[in-house]
Amino acid sequence: MQLPPSGKLCLDHIAHYVEKMDQANDELKSLGFTLTPFSKQSHKLTPESPLEPAGAGNRCIMLEKGYIEILNPIGTTSIANQLRSGLKRYTGIHLIAFGTALPEKDHARLSDSGFAPLNPVSLQRNIETKTKTETARFTVIRVPHGTMPEGRIQFCHHLTPKYLWQSQWTHHANHAKELKDIIICVTNPEETANRYARFTGLTADLYKTHTRIKTTRGSLIFVSSYILNEKLEITPPCLPWIAGYVLKSSDQSGTANYLKNSKFPYREFNDGRLLVKLPKTVGGCLIFESENAEMLNL
């Protein structure tokens, strides 16, 4: 089930902002991912507004649980300009979407907590099924651009999940199965996590080297640049930086064999996790872990 229980949140998806969609698509295919066809997004900014181009197009890596979106700007809309603004900082992950079944409740909490949420957005895009083209529809809750300096942090309510999670898109040669955790590198992890706790209504838990917010499926992990460099040997291009994410593999040894045979550089840790630094056209990093892996402790 993709939607969280009523009143709860999950990690629904993350999005890479890229300039060269075709090149990013080829790189991710070589890494063993199956990507959906390219689709342009449209939206209604208010219920009374006409449907208009949103200013972005995407391909997606649909997992059995959650997904990874690859976004690039189209045209000169405010959304397109926001994507280009993000790309000036770095190519990579700029968007985190929490899955929700009650977007109106999230909107009210954001308002009560001083985040001044925008009107709910009706977002849609065409999507191919095995027999015809359907329309995927979403309700998205956003806050004003720049409110969350880490990127576009939003809530997503899926109205047509059956069109997104189709079996022909959820099988990957690298055995990726589930979006598990997101790693966010910031100057003050505890302070940032407390802001996200107010944003989500969830609890921020302090650990020795990081702060974590757990959802019903997946966590946000807040770390300093020192810890990121010490644990993963990665230096952030700037701060704040959504550094990467953890994917569960249905066959971790199969994932390792795929990476080895495809000659894709990776690093194996003592606990069996596999770190991949993604190509510059995609940005960021990802970590594969087994289905029964213990909690990642950066």
Provide the 10 A C-beta neighbour count for residue 236: 17
CATH of the domain at 244: 3.10.180.10
Same domain (yes/no): 156, 193: no
1 band by pLDDT with thresholds 50, 70 and 90: low
pLDDT per residue over 10-64, tens digit each?
999 999 999 999 999 999 999 999 999 999 999 988 777 888 999 999 999 999 9
77 is in which domain, residue-wise?
9-164
Same domain (yes/no): 194, 47: no
126: amino acid identity, one letter:
N
Is residue 89 in a domain? yes
Has residue 239 got a pLDDT over 90?
A: yes
pLDDT per residue over 114-131, tens digit each?
999 999 999 999 898 889
Same domain (yes/no): 156, 207: no
- Give percent of the chain with pLDDT exceeding 90: 92
289 band by pLDDT with thresholds 50, 70 and 90: very high
Same domain (yes/no): 155, 212: no
Same domain (yes/no): 238, 144: no
Share the mean pLDDT of the chain: 96
Same domain (yes/no): 43, 146: yes
21 — phi, psi (to 5°)?
-60, -45
Read off the pLDDT of each residue in 72-87 and give the average, rounded to a whole number: 96
Same domain (yes/no): 101, 63: yes
Query: Measuring CA to CA, which residue among 229, 237, 275, 255 is closest to residue 172?
Result: 255
Query: Measuring CA to CA, which residue among 135, 142, 141 is closest to residue 159?
Result: 135
pTM for the structure as a whole: 0.97
Is residue 36 in a domain? yes
Domain count, the chain: 2
Same domain (yes/no): 34, 137: yes
Same domain (yes/no): 128, 23: yes
pLDDT per residue over 251-266, tens digit each?
999 999 999 999 999 9
Is the Cβ–Cβ distance between 184 and 221 less than 8 Å? yes
Is residue 1 in a domain? no
Q: Which residues of 7-37 are buried (b: 16+ CB within 10 A; e: fewer)?
A: ebbbbbbbbbbbeebeebbebbeebbbbbbe
- Give percent of the chain with pLDDT exceeding 70: 100
How far is 275 from 147, CA to CA, in rounded Å? 31
Structure-token match 């075709």, residue found: 22
* H or E element, residue 11: strand 9-17
Has residue 193 got a pLDDT over 70?
A: yes
pLDDT per residue over 163-190, tens digit each?
999 999 999 999 999 999 999 999 999 9
Is residue 234 in a domain? yes
